[in-house]
Chain A
Amino acid sequence: MKKNGIKSSATTGTTTPAQAVPDTPTMIGINFGDSFASIAVINKEGHADCIANEDGERQIACAVSFFGEEVYIGNQALPQLVKNAQNTITGFRNLLGKKFAEVPPAKKNISAPIVDLSGSPGYTVTVLVPAPIASTPLSARSTPAPTRAPSPPPPVPTQKSLTVHEVAVLFLASLRRSAEDFLGRPIDGAVLPVPSSWGPSQKAALRKAALEAGIKIIQLIPEAGAAVLGYEGSTAVKPHDRTTLVLDLGANSLTLSLLSTKNSLIHPLGDLIITDLGGSTIDAILVSHFSKEFTKKTKIPITSDDTRSEAKLRLAVDHTKRTLSASAGAASCSVESLKDGIDFSGSINRLRFDLLLAAFYTQITGHISALLESARLQKEQVHEIMFVGGSAGLTGLVEKVGFFFGESSGVIIRDDIDPSEALVKGSVLQAKLLLEISTEGPLHAATAEDDHSIATANASSYPIGIVFPGDHDEALLSLVVIPAETPLPVRRTVRVGVSKHDGAVGFEVWEGVEVVKVVQSENKPAVKGDDDEEDEEDEEEAKEVVVEKKAFIRALKLAVNGDKLDIRISLDVEGKLEVEARESGGSDWVRAA
C-alpha cells in the first residue's frame, strides 16, 4: 500500500510528501452512479464525511461536456445540455464493460447519442482543436502577403470519438483530483459500490477505467451492502437480527433489495431493479406540470419535440425538487426565456406535488409487494427500511412507504442520514475497515476478489428455538435462539431467568416456522371520534409474526439451583445441531444427547 502511494504521487507529480505523511494509507469511498457521483473520506473523528468538490457540490453530476476547446466535467456540464446537448455526455456508467450490441435501444435522450465504435459503445463529439502547425507555412507560401499572422490560426472543428471507457477515465480522474485537493495528499485506494446486477466484465471495466484514472480499487461492494454500512456507521458485531428493505431510488432506476442481517453478516434475499423509474420520472411529471402551467398562462404551447425548452425546465425543476425535499413550504420554479423569449415563474406546494406523484408512489409500493412476494416474505417480516439515493429524500415517498408497511407494524424507517450520501459513506467505512487487515494474503483476497468462495456460506432454513414445558401457548416456541437465514456456522448463548422450581429445569429445542397471524386485540378502544373516516382506516387488522413449532429436535433436563440458566445452541457448517446448557456462572456445560 505504502509503495503504491509513493508510486502514485510520483506519477501525478504531487510534490508534497514532506508534510505530515500519515503512516496509514489514504482510502476514500467513491459512489460512481449513473447520474451522480460522490466522494467520502474519513474525517479527524474517524467518521465518514461526504466531501464537496471544488464547485462546492457533494453530488457531482456524471456528465462530460465538450465545448470548443473546453471540457466541462461534473455539474458544470449540465447547463450545456441546453445549448450544446450534442456534445454533452451523460449516463455513461451503465455502459461500462458492455458491447455496443448489448446496449439497450436508446430512450429519448437529449445528450450525445451512443454510437458504435468498433463494437464498443462510444460517443462522437465536435471539438475545436488548434490548427495543425504544419499547415501554416504552406498557407504562408501560397498567400501573397508575407505578413506573419500575429495570433495563432483559429482552431478548427474536428470530430472526436470517445469510447465509454475514455469518458469514464476522464470523469474518474476529475473525482480523484477533487479528493486529492481536499485531502492534500495522493489517494492510495478506494472502495466503490456497484449494482448487484453487474457482471464480471462490467466490474473489470470499472477497475480498468479507475486504474487509468489513478484510482486503485481495493474492493467493489454491492450497493445495498454499502447502504447498510452507511446507515449503521459502526460495523461492530452485534447479535442484531433483522430483515431490511433497501429502497434505492436513483435518477434513472429504482433498486429494491431485501437483505437479511444475522450476526451482522449481510446477505441478499432478493432484489428487483426497475430501470424506468427514478428521479427523471419525477422530473418528467414536474416538467409536464409546469409546461401546462406555462401554456395556460401564456397561450404558448410547449410541444414534445421542443427539446431546448424541456431541457431548461428540467434543469430548473431539479432545484424545485430539492427545495421540496428540504422544506415544508412551497417551492418555486423559474426559467428565463422558456420559450419565445417569455420567462416562466411558477410554484408548487408539497401537497400538490405529492398529489402529482401519487401514481408514482403507488408504482413503487407495487414493486415492493412484488419483491416481497418473490422472496416469499410478508411485509410484517420486514423490520427495517433504508432509503438510499438522490431521489429517496422526498418526504412524500417516505410517508407513503411507511404507510404501506403499516404505521403500527413497528417497522423502522431509516432516513436519518442524507439518502444520497448513504452509499458513499458506507464505502469509505468499508475502506477504513480494510486498512486494519494486511494488503495481501487470503484474508485480503476474501474481500478484494469478487465472488470469493468464502462469501458463499450455508444459511439455516428455519428458526431454531426453545420450548419450556408449561409455557402459555403450546403451539409456539418460547424463544427463538437462531433465526432463519443465519449464516453457518453459528453459536449463540442466551441467558434466561427461571421462576421457582424444584432444583431441575427441563426444556426442548424445536425447529419452528414463522407465521404471520392476525391478532384479535380484545381491548380495542371503542372511542367514537369526531371524524368517522379515521375510524374506518383504523380497522385494519393488526398482524404479528409468531414462530410455530415445526419439528422437535432435542430435550434436556438439568439440575439448577440459582435462578438463571444459560443455553447454548450451535449449528456447524453442515447444519449439525448441538445443544448445551448450564447454570449461569457454572463452568461445565451439560450436553443434550
Chain B
Amino acid sequence: METITELSYIAPATPKDWTPSKHKPVASVSAPHSRKLFPIGEAYLRHARRTLNQWTFDQEEAYYGDEQRRLEAEGSGNGLDPTDDLGVGDEPEGPELKLLDPKEWKKQDHYAVLGLSRFRYKATPDQIKIAHRKKVLKHHPDKKAGSGDSNDDSFFKCIQKAMETLTNPERRRQFDSIDPYYEDLQSDDPSSATPFLKQPPEHFFKVFGPIFEREAHFSKTPEAEVPLLGAIDATKAEVEAFYDFWYNFDSWRTFEYLDKEINEGSDNRDDKRYTEKKNKSERARRKKEDNARLRGLVDIALQADPRIKRIKQEEKEERERKKNKGKVVNGAAPIDKAKQEAEEKKRKEEEAKKAEAEKVAKADAKKAKAAAANAAKKARRAARTAEGS
C-alpha cells in the first residue's frame, strides 16, 4: 500500500472566485543535480531494487505489499506472535493451591500449579514457558511486597519447583508416569467384565474408549500409531490388531519419582546403598504391578467387548453360508439354529476353560513365586547359619 503522510495541517477554504491562472507556470522544476548515495540501509536496497527492475512506484508498492503478506503468513505459521499465549489462558487457582507446602513439592500436581491442568502431558515446552511466566508475574514475591504478606513466597517456590520438574524432559517423564490426575482416574477403572454383559454395547465404548486413550500416552511407540479402541463397527483385523498391540504393550512408565530420598548428608555408605536397593526393587515392583494392571484391563475389555461376540457371530454365519451353499434352501434355517446353539454352548465352554486355565496359570505363577521366595529364604538362612558357624 502507498504510504500516505497524515499532516495536521488544515487548509483554509478556497475563495469562490479563486482561479489558478494568476501566475505564469514555469515549464518544469529546477534541474536536479547528481548526488552520491551511501549504499547502506534498507532504503538503499529498495532504491537499488526499484532501479534494477525499472519499477514504477505502483509496481514497487505491489511487490512490498506481497512481501509483507508473505512474511505475515509465515510469521503466523511459526506461531511467532508474541501476544499469542498458545491457549494457556488463565486457570482459576483453587484455595488448595495456595496452601501447598514447597517442602512437600513431590506431592504437588505440577500441572495444576502452573495452571496447565487442561493440557497435562500434552502441554508443549512453549506452553509451559508461557504458563510459568504468567504465574511468576502474578506470584513473584516482589509483586506481593505491597500487599502485606511479603514473607509468604511459598507458592512462588512451588511454581519454581513445578517449572524445574516440567522443563527437564527426564524429570517431566517421571512425573507424567505418576501424574496424580491419572492415578485418580485409574482407581475408577472397571474391575470386572460382568457389568458390561448386561449393558448395551455403547456403554462399553463409553467406558473403555477414554481408558485406552489415557493409557496410550505411556506407549513407547509414538502416540499417533497406537491403535485405539475404535467403534462398534470395526473390522475383525482392526479388533485383532488392537488386542494384539495392547497385550504386547511396551510402556515407558517409570517410578523413580516415588523413590525415597537418599540421605545425601549421611556418610554411611551402607545406608545409601540400602535405600538405593530398596528404591530399585520398589520401582521394579511398581512397574510389574502397573503392567499387570494394564493386562487386567485388556482382559476385561476383551471379555466385555461386544465386537468379539459380533465377529464370532459373523464368522459363524459365513461358515454356515459356505456349508449351506449346496444344500436346499428350505431346510437350512432350523439346522442353522441348532448349530448356532451348539456353537454357542461350545464357545462358552471354551471360554470357561480358558478362564480356568488362566486362573490355574495365575495360581501356578503365585505358587512359583512363593516357592522362589521360600527358596531364597532358605538360602539366606543357610548362608546365615554358615556365617554363624
* A interface residue numbers (CB < 8 A to B): 219, 221-222, 224-226, 228-229, 232, 235-237, 239, 259-260, 263-268, 426, 430, 433, 436-437, 442-443, 446-447, 451-452, 454-462, 464, 468-471, 478-479, 485, 487-489, 491-502, 504-508, 511, 551-557, 565-566, 570-571, 574-577
A488 to B57, CA, bound (A): 12
Q: Are B14 and A506 in contact (CB under 8 A)?
A: yes
Task: Pull 23 A–B residue pairs with CB atoms less than 8 Å apart, ordered by A.
Answer: A221-B38, A222-B38, A236-B42, A265-B44, A267-B35, A436-B45, A437-B45, A443-B52, A452-B39, A454-B52, A456-B35, A456-B36, A457-B35, A459-B32, A459-B34, A464-B29, A494-B4, A494-B5, A496-B11, A502-B16, A508-B23, A571-B29, A575-B30
A124 to B48, CA, bound (A): 47
Q: Tell whether B20 is near chain A: CB-to-CB under 8 Å.
A: yes
Q: Tell whether B25 is near chain A: CB-to-CB under 8 Å.
A: yes
Q: A265-B44, A575-B31 are in contact. List 20 more A-B contacts (CB 8 A).
A: A224-B38, A228-B41, A229-B41, A235-B42, A443-B52, A446-B52, A452-B39, A479-B9, A493-B4, A495-B5, A495-B7, A496-B7, A497-B8, A497-B11, A498-B13, A551-B29, A554-B25, A571-B32, A575-B28, A577-B29
Q: Which of B31-77 contact A (CB under 8 A)?
A: 31-49, 51-52, 57
Nearest chain A CB to B3 CB, angstrom units: 7
A551 to B39, CA, bound (A): 33
Q: Are B32 and A497 in contact (CB under 8 A)?
A: no
The 0/1 profile, CB within 8 Å of A marked 1, for residues 281-304 of chain B is 000000000000000000000000
Known: A447-B44, A470-B12. A459 touches B35 (CB 8 A): yes
**A-side contacts of B33, CB under 8 Å:** 458-459, 461
A457 to B12, CA, bound (A): 37
**A-side contacts of B13, CB under 8 Å:** 470, 498-502
Q: Are B11 and A446 in contact (CB under 8 A)?
A: no
Task: Among B11, B32, B38, point to the contact of A498 (Cβ < 8 A).
Answer: B11
Q: Tell whether B170 is near chain A: CB-to-CB under 8 Å.
A: no
**A-side contacts of B38, CB under 8 Å:** 221-222, 224-225, 228, 259, 265-268, 455
Nearest chain A CB to B47 CB, angstrom units: 6
Q: Are A576 and B28 in contact (CB under 8 A)?
A: yes
Q: Are B9 and A460 in contact (CB under 8 A)?
A: no
Q: Tell whether B26 is near chain A: CB-to-CB under 8 Å.
A: yes
**B-side contacts of A552, CB under 8 Å:** 23-26
Q: Are B45 and A443 in contact (CB under 8 A)?
A: yes
**B-side contacts of A555, CB under 8 Å:** 20-21, 25
Q: Are A460 and B57 in contact (CB under 8 A)?
A: no
Look across to chain B and name the residue whose beta carbon is closest to the beta carbon of A441.
B52
A437 to B32, CA, bound (A): 30
**B-side contacts of A577, CB under 8 Å:** 28-29
Q: Tell whether B96 is near chain A: CB-to-CB under 8 Å.
A: no
A327 to B123, CA, bound (A): 51
Nearest chain B CB to A44 CB, angstrom units: 15
Q: Are B9 and A267 in contact (CB under 8 A)?
A: no
**A-side contacts of B237, CB under 8 Å:** none
Q: Are B14 and A446 in contact (CB under 8 A)?
A: no
Most chain A CB neighbours (cut-off 10 Å) among B28, B34, B35, B43: B35
Q: Tell whether B6 is near chain A: CB-to-CB under 8 Å.
A: yes
Known: A452-B39, A485-B35. A557 touches B47 (CB 8 A): no
Nearest chain A CB to B129 CB, angstrom units: 15
A545 to B298, CA, bound (A): 89
**A-side contacts of B25, CB under 8 Å:** 552-555
Q: Are A557 and B14 in contact (CB under 8 A)?
A: yes
**A-side contacts of B42, CB under 8 Å:** 235-237, 264, 433
**A-side contacts of B3, CB under 8 Å:** 239, 493
Known: A454-B51, A479-B7, A552-B23. A433 touches B35 (CB 8 A): no
Question: Number of contacting residues on B, CB 8 A?
Answer: 47
Q: Tell whether B80 is near chain A: CB-to-CB under 8 Å.
A: no
Q: Are B4 and A495 in contact (CB under 8 A)?
A: yes
**A-side contacts of B34, CB under 8 Å:** 456-459
Q: Which 10 A-B pairs have the closest CB atoms?
A: A555-B20, A264-B43, A225-B38, A552-B23, A458-B32, A446-B48, A497-B10, A235-B42, A459-B35, A468-B11
Q: Are A478 and B11 in contact (CB under 8 A)?
A: yes
A447 to B43, CA, bound (A): 12
Q: Are A491 and B48 in contact (CB under 8 A)?
A: no
Known: A492-B5, A506-B20. A455 touches B37 (CB 8 A): yes
Known: A501-B14, A506-B14. A239 touches B5 (CB 8 A): yes
Q: Are B24 and A461 in contact (CB under 8 A)?
A: no
Task: Among B6, B14, B16, B24, point to the contact of A495 (Cβ < 8 A).
Answer: B6
Q: Are B41 and A264 in contact (CB under 8 A)?
A: yes
Task: Among A268, A454, A479, A499, point to the contact of B48 (Cβ < 8 A).
Answer: A454
Q: Tell whether B334 is near chain A: CB-to-CB under 8 Å.
A: no
Task: Among A235, A260, A430, A468, point to the contact of B14 (Cβ < 8 A).
Answer: A468
Look across to chain B and name the residue whose beta carbon is closest to the beta carbon of A482.
B29
Q: Tell whether B2 is near chain A: CB-to-CB under 8 Å.
A: yes
**B-side contacts of A511, CB under 8 Å:** 26, 29-30
**B-side contacts of A554, CB under 8 Å:** 25
Look across to chain B and name the residue whose beta carbon is closest to the beta carbon of A504.
B14
Nearest chain A CB to B328 CB, angstrom units: 77
Q: Are B40 and A557 in contact (CB under 8 A)?
A: no
Q: Tell whether B15 is near chain A: CB-to-CB under 8 Å.
A: yes
A475 to B47, CA, bound (A): 35
**A-side contacts of B20, CB under 8 Å:** 506, 508, 555-557
Known: A447-B45, A478-B11, A496-B10. A460 touches B37 (CB 8 A): no
A264 to B39, CA, bound (A): 11
Nearest chain B CB to A60 CB, angstrom units: 24
A259 to B38, CA, bound (A): 10
A489 to B47, CA, bound (A): 9
Most chain B CB neighbours (cut-off 10 Å) among A266, A502, A566: A266
Nearest chain A CB to B202 CB, angstrom units: 52
Q: Are B12 and A468 in contact (CB under 8 A)?
A: yes
A457 to B276, CA, bound (A): 79
A576 to B28, CA, bound (A): 7
Task: Among B29, B35, B40, point to the contact of A225 (Cβ < 8 A).
Answer: B40
A377 to B47, CA, bound (A): 27
Q: Are B29 and A499 in contact (CB under 8 A)?
A: no
A186 to B15, CA, bound (A): 70
Nearest chain A CB to B76 CB, angstrom units: 19
A263 to B38, CA, bound (A): 13
**B-side contacts of A458, CB under 8 Å:** 32-35
Most chain A CB neighbours (cut-off 10 Å) among B8, B24, B25, B51: B25
**B-side contacts of A493, CB under 8 Å:** 2-5
A145 to B23, CA, bound (A): 111
Nearest chain B CB to A226 CB, angstrom units: 7
Q: Are A469 and B15 in contact (CB under 8 A)?
A: yes
Known: A458-B33, A556-B20. A219 touches B39 (CB 8 A): yes
Q: Are A462 and B29 in contact (CB under 8 A)?
A: yes
**A-side contacts of B10, CB under 8 Å:** 496-499
Nearest chain A CB to B310 CB, angstrom units: 55
**B-side contacts of A508, CB under 8 Å:** 20, 23
**A-side contacts of B9, CB under 8 Å:** 478-479, 496-497
A501 to B11, CA, bound (A): 10
Look across to chain B and name the residue whose beta carbon is closest to the beta carbon of A447.
B39
A226 to B46, CA, bound (A): 18
A495 to B11, CA, bound (A): 11
**B-side contacts of A219, CB under 8 Å:** 39
